[in-house]
Structure 1
């Protein structure tokens, strides 16, 4: 933003020497470090639709003897936007969909800017469709969704704690590439730094918040030219069939399960799982603090697991810990 403001405020071409001395973040850098950071910043602005013009000759307002940079009104100005009635209706419905989510303020600002250009968004045309502002909108427009979208646009590496059913939580360091949704489920795709490969993460399985990875600068990684989000998602293990378990848990017990709940129903919680045997083993480890209400497959898996544990304890002559 400092670079954008400085170049927009300048009356002419601005030299690299001036940029290095006048902009926070550039001061004190040597030529190589400046070129690297300046290139990243130019690329970030380019992704925002703002191009920095470069030329070797300077006008009367600029330094002499160095390459100059500027952002002209033509480079910065927003192009005319023309929407058909159907497209305007789609924009209005989308804004309504996001209105009660973390993206509500941004969508409202977008509508204001479009109206300022003279675009009529009041008419949705024939067959007006009302946006669904229920659970799907709230899931898609969660805090982590908005945060992930910001980091993707800024090309900032991030970190977060990820808890996949049946596995221990792990700290993930990710160079985010894209967000995709399937129904009301949102997936974050990118390069897993520790695993050294592309990975997909279901956003609802992120524990806590997404945060910017320390020691990394915006725009310091590239999204591969051959990256195909839909192909990556369809081939991901995160797309494995997910089932829901309805559990009744004694107060102040089995906190790891409670933290994984996706919603509550009456006096029970709902958690997701992909492997009944793995979840059954976890449930049994909490003794009688957890009761499985459904599905029947999981109820049977837990009963079988408890029977196996009881028989093993009997053979060993030990106390039945399941009733502890």
Structure 2
């Protein structure tokens, strides 16, 4: 193994786990610890921030630097990154599409032909349904994520689903992404309760310097799912579906409704909508036996729909 090959192998090892001792690296590469020290210096000269610590628990560690040095990717990692970048071109983060295209062009230029053909084969065999996605400013997303990480309060303007403006001061906890939107789960200090916020409705975000101690909080994904499937809507339906939860979940996305198991052969679906007829159509599309639990207005809408269907089939009172 020549010096260049050994240094690249050393870089791959440093990327594979947090800390390596000099002896472990020497054994892996079949050289002395002195050679390891020289190779580490070569990586540092190339811009890789390799840290070192002496004593028990010490060793070499690849850290984060002021600039992003080149990455060394295994074959399967390069394919995964390239496919992800192609999918990101139609994503929900504003500006990410252009950045993904630029990055993909750089990767495609240096990727071996055999890997490039694998990526294109996957891409050619894949169709992406983007739907009516709502884009979020990338800088807003990044600053919100940092506030969650650093446990600092944020202040922002917000428009509710009916357009009502407000000013919020919150303790951010977690970002939750659905197939169409990004949400922030946070503790609203003025309302003294947990809230979820659509990031595309957030404006004038100000990250403060006020640190906070994280509170006990509900599950972020569950809270967001409950919020997006029920609370914004005029009507909230609860229906017992006579089919196993796993089977129904194949037709109900987390952003459409919330499912709760009700025995081995049934589940309860909670879903919201501003139009009862739309809810009826959605429930019928599940192609399962249904039992409406609430609201009573949904039962009436089912009866009206059933009467229209019978007339359309030539079996209603009007047809006779």
TM (norm. structure 2) is 0.40
Q: Which has the higher contact order (CA 8 A, sep 6+)?
A: 1
What is the TM-score of this pair, normalised by structure 1? 0.40
